[in-house]
A and B are shown apart, each in its own frame.
Chain A
Amino acid sequence: MAVRANPRLIDELELYGAEDVQKCYHCGNCSAVCPFSREPFLFPRKSMRYLQMGLEERLAGTLEPWLCYYCGECSEQCPREAEPGETMMSIRRWLTAQYDVTGLSKLFYRSWRAELAAVLLVALLTGAGFLLFGLKYGGGSLGVYAGPGAFLPASSVHVFDWILGGTLAALLAANCARMWWLTTGRDRRVRVPLLDYVTRAFLVPLHFVTQKRYRECESKRPWAVHFALVASYLTMLVLIMLFLESLHAAPANRLAHAFGYLATAGLLGTTLYALRGRWRRATPLHRHSHETDWVFLVLLVYVAATGILQHALYRWFGLDTAANVVYIAHLMGAVPMLAVEVPFSKWSHLAYRPLAMYFADLHERALARAASPAGAQSVPAAA
């Protein structure tokens, strides 16, 4: 059965940043220079083709964009300046919107005003909420930062963290499930046995933690930066989700603090590096910046900076009031950043990428099995 082409999908993807994909004339250069492109996952050309032709269903089912790390080799050598790397990036944004069950992602990516408004709204709600909470249920006085009578007791914030984390995780899980359905579940060509799902599941945490595939790019620096960023972020996540109270504890928990400093330095360093790159447009990766990239990076810098500032104000200068104000400001950045970015925008790729590697592995195995004669026999048996 023939698939219907849609010459207008390209217009939609333009909103996600694919501004040059129409220039591609399919010489195959990009797929061949890409160190990750190998059978059965040939990209970026093929994904670009689906996009150009408007084969929406095919495009929504591709794993390839998640296998791309945007090293920029393809864009640098593209004879038509069709920016394959950026196109893959744009497809990732579009895919994020496709996976998202709420439809908010679509709204945010297509309109930076909507995203900014959402961020501001959540920020205001967070600020107002914590202020009210502090005044009503907390210590009541902005002058106390930590200990009993703290304006925002660590234990309460911790509970809030877990509620927020749980909600976001649930949303993300729903998105991941939809990703599975679009890329693997509905695809009749790949039949993945249940056992494979179990035995290969280790790939998800492996890729999540190590980002090892990224290292296969010709230039190692982007991987290093990315790794530092992710490691810092994870450290912070662990600290906040598990050790928030000990961070706030009056006698300084040196070990926790040491990790905190390290993570903060990592976050600030990498994000500032990324911002500088985007500002200078140094590499193909940085030449094109979708508005959402800026929102994300600025928020991250802001959160890291306010995080360390409130810490410094309290620990080093003993300015409790100022620390509390900055803490609320910090939360006003952190909450919207997490609420918007994790399930609906850029941050979600932390989940999608390792998942995609996992699915890709399953696909590869399924296809290999189908191709080999033994597999061919086992298929009717399974049916």
Chain B
Amino acid sequence: MSRPPLPRIGVFVCNCGTNIARTVDCEEIACAAMEWPGVVVARAYKYMCSDPGQEMIAEEVREKRLDRVVVAACSPRMHEPTFRRALASSGLNPYLLEMANIREQCSWVHDDPRAATDKALALARAAVARVVRHEPLEKRFVPMNPATLVLGGGIAGMTAALQLADAGQPVTIVERADRLGGNVARIDLTAPHLDSARELLLGRLARVSMHPMISVLLRAELEQLEGYQGNFTADVAVEGASRRLEIGSVVVCTGYKEFDAARVEGLGYGRLPDVITSFELELMLKRGRIEMADGRTPRTVALVHCVGSRSEEYHGYCSRVCCMTALKYGHEVKSALPGAAVVDLYIDMHAFGKGCEDFYRKTAEIKTLFLMYGKNAPPVIRPAGPKDDCNLLITLDEKLSGEEIEVPADLVVLMVGMEPREDAGRVAQLVNISRDKDGWFIESHPKLDPVATTTDGIYIAGACQSPKDIPDSVAQARAAAARILAKVAKGKIEVDAIFAEVDAARCSGCRICGTMCPYGAIEYDEEQKSSRVVEASCKACGCCAAACPSLAVRARHFTDEQIFAQIEGVL
């Protein structure tokens, strides 16, 4: 392992305002760096990521003829692309960059300036040692298959499909159920404008069914997904038979399922016949019969918010749509049963959308009784006694009056929250995306990139990412379509330059690497008696490189030499 001759390294330390500079002495790092072998320039600056910061790097590269750059700043997950672009703009291969994460993993987590500066020094030193061994890598382009697979035929899936198909691109919708429409098909009216959900769906449904560019596979399930962005092969099981689809992108719109209300003991769901879920009320509304189990018309209807949501015991998150849905029920019950009283038990009223606060006020104006209960103190429902003039009694600690009260009710509707579908884990594994602690799919960045995932070519939209109402799902589905359209419009996609390669001369042909690769990206050449990596399928995990007994596999950009140098550097 020989050191390359005379590297010319530039070290750039970012203050990040005071984010880094408050705990880490950036000037000290810059000074120390000047002493390290190969470093010809080291500078600290307020915001390295800013235009002038990037300009500074590019200028130094040009002026000092730098051939390696180290940026000590935030996490490479944040700004590595930015600085790679800066290198590229100054004519340097972008892979000749190494970042030292002195913000997320140093200045933000340590209080002692001395210790933090020492750690930052070590990290920067390691980066310098590593960057010496970097080599210029070239990105490659692969063709982009314009076809898209949409997983899930709910409102998000249909919207994404139509958006793509209207742009002239072929789409296949894979839906597990025997009909399209998802959960929206189960509701009658939408909040807050009381529009017909049926009309909304019927329009989409008609267009999807009549669209020449969309094919719909019902009772179908994705079985396997292979390949890489722009060039996936999907195996879909349709009613027992397997079909193979060639596609370029996947939009996951698998939606949600409702929380099982029976899990909350005190609400009596499943035990008390007149305690029903919101979806059961929707069915009653569609049939025009809001009735108790014995067929009588309820005089008081109670709505309980946050069933399974915002609780320590079940789901900590807010399900985002239930408040408005409950207000909608307030209107609907009063419309169908003008004499009935409506009681609404909530924690905080989340009426945040356009027109929603207005809707909340209107619901109050028609004399809905709003009762506030505490988080983690759900109301308790029990059957009323023979002397009571009602069917059920709800006990709760009412927050706005400070009174422990009981409320008479004939019918109780539980506003069940959303949770990930049971098969979300399987889907995540199939398409290779991650899930958060609640089981929702994780977007690549909530603000920068809310529809992409950690796997290129796989997008998420709708409630499978987190609870969402219809407009937000529609917007997200279209956003996913925008990403795909952008790639399709270009016709080709960049493939990351980082992948593994086999040195045929060293390879003994033991084929251990092939058994390790989760993507089947390693082929065995019978003639040469050596293994070979299919670059486009390789995802650069480096598992093969770690396993190769003869050190014939090189994980580009994560080579043994680079990591050894880094180990020496941090110690």
A binds B: yes
Does A23 contact B365, Cβ atoms closer than 8 Å?
yes
Taken together as a complex, chains A and B put the C-alpha atoms of A80 and B370 apart, in Å, by: 15
Q: Which of A1, A2, A50, A52 contacts B369 (CB 8 A)?
A: A52
Does B408 contact A4, Cβ atoms closer than 8 Å?
yes
A45 to chain B, nearest CB (A): 8
Does A10 contact B404, Cβ atoms closer than 8 Å?
no
Is A49's beta carbon under 8 Å from chain B?
yes
Taken together as a complex, chains A and B put the C-alpha atoms of A33 and B366 apart, in Å, by: 27
Q: Can you list, as one digit per residue, whether each of B460-474 has a CB less than 8 Å from chain A (1) or not (0)? A: 000000000000000
Does B371 contact A8, Cβ atoms closer than 8 Å?
no
Taken together as a complex, chains A and B put the C-alpha atoms of A80 and B362 apart, in Å, by: 11
Taken together as a complex, chains A and B put the C-alpha atoms of A10 and B407 apart, in Å, by: 15
Taken together as a complex, chains A and B put the C-alpha atoms of A24 and B364 apart, in Å, by: 8
Does B403 contact A3, Cβ atoms closer than 8 Å?
yes
Taken together as a complex, chains A and B put the C-alpha atoms of A6 and B395 apart, in Å, by: 13
Q: List 14 A-B contacts (CB under 8 A).
A: A3-B404, A4-B405, A4-B406, A5-B398, A5-B408, A7-B341, A7-B367, A22-B368, A23-B364, A23-B365, A49-B400, A53-B403, A55-B401, A80-B361
Taken together as a complex, chains A and B put the C-alpha atoms of A10 and B366 apart, in Å, by: 11
Is B441's beta carbon under 8 Å from chain A?
no
Does A53 contact B364, Cβ atoms closer than 8 Å?
no
- Chain B, 399-428, CB within 8 A of any chain A CB: 400-401, 403-408
Is A25's beta carbon under 8 Å from chain B?
yes
Taken together as a complex, chains A and B put the C-alpha atoms of A330 and B97 apart, in Å, by: 102
B411 to chain A, nearest CB (A): 13
Taken together as a complex, chains A and B put the C-alpha atoms of A52 and B405 apart, in Å, by: 13
A41 to chain B, nearest CB (A): 14
Does A53 contact B341, Cβ atoms closer than 8 Å?
no
Is A213's beta carbon under 8 Å from chain B?
no
Taken together as a complex, chains A and B put the C-alpha atoms of A49 and B400 apart, in Å, by: 7
On whether A23 and B401 interact (CB within 8 A), knowing A3-B406, A7-B341, the answer reads: no
What are the residues of chain A within 8 A of B372 when measuring CB–CB? 26
Number of interface residues, chain A, beta carbon within 8 A: 24
B54 to chain A, nearest CB (A): 48
Is B117's beta carbon under 8 Å from chain A?
no
Does B400 contact A26, Cβ atoms closer than 8 Å?
yes
Is A257's beta carbon under 8 Å from chain B?
no
Does A49 contact B401, Cβ atoms closer than 8 Å?
yes
Is A46's beta carbon under 8 Å from chain B?
yes
Q: Which of A4, A8, A49 contacts B341 (CB 8 A)?
A: A8
Is B563's beta carbon under 8 Å from chain A?
no
Residues on B close to A: CB < 8 A?
300, 341-343, 349, 360-361, 364-372, 395, 398, 400-401, 403-408
Does B371 contact A25, Cβ atoms closer than 8 Å?
no
Taken together as a complex, chains A and B put the C-alpha atoms of A262 and B201 apart, in Å, by: 77
Residue of A nearest to B399 (CB): A26
What are the residues of chain A within 8 A of B343 when measuring CB–CB? 5, 7
Is A58's beta carbon under 8 Å from chain B?
yes
Is A11's beta carbon under 8 Å from chain B?
yes
Taken together as a complex, chains A and B put the C-alpha atoms of A25 and B364 apart, in Å, by: 8
In terms of DSSP, what is the predominant structure of the interface of chain B? strand
Q: Can you list, as one digit per residue, whether each of A22-35 has a CB less than 8 Å from chain B (1) or not (0)? A: 11111000000000
On whether A5 and B400 interact (CB within 8 A), knowing A10-B367, A25-B360, A80-B361, the answer reads: no
Taken together as a complex, chains A and B put the C-alpha atoms of A6 and B367 apart, in Å, by: 12
Taken together as a complex, chains A and B put the C-alpha atoms of A53 and B372 apart, in Å, by: 11
B305 to chain A, nearest CB (A): 15
What are the residues of chain B within 8 A of A3 when measuring CB–CB? 403-406
Does B361 contact A5, Cβ atoms closer than 8 Å?
no
B296 to chain A, nearest CB (A): 18
Does A7 contact B369, Cβ atoms closer than 8 Å?
yes
Does B398 contact A53, Cβ atoms closer than 8 Å?
yes
What are the residues of chain A within 8 A of B395 when measuring CB–CB? 2
Residue of B341, B367, B401 ringed by the most chain A CB atoms within 10 A: B401
Does A5 contact B407, Cβ atoms closer than 8 Å?
yes
Q: Can you list, as one digit per residue, whether each of A12-26 has a CB less than 8 Å from chain B (1) or not (0)? A: 000000000011111
Does A25 contact B370, Cβ atoms closer than 8 Å?
yes
Taken together as a complex, chains A and B put the C-alpha atoms of A197 and B241 apart, in Å, by: 90
Q: Which of B342, B360, B364, B405 contacts A5 (CB 8 A)?
A: B405
| Known contacts A2-B406, A58-B403; 8 further A-B pairs (Cβ under 8 A) | A4-B406, A7-B367, A8-B341, A22-B368, A23-B365, A49-B401, A52-B370, A80-B364
What are the residues of chain B within 8 A of A8 when measuring CB–CB? 341
Residue of B nearest to A22 (CB): B367
Taken together as a complex, chains A and B put the C-alpha atoms of A23 and B366 apart, in Å, by: 9
Does B367 contact A5, Cβ atoms closer than 8 Å?
no
Taken together as a complex, chains A and B put the C-alpha atoms of A6 and B405 apart, in Å, by: 10
What are the residues of chain A within 8 A of B401 when measuring CB–CB? 46, 49-50, 53, 55
A273 to chain B, nearest CB (A): 33
Does B369 contact A5, Cβ atoms closer than 8 Å?
yes
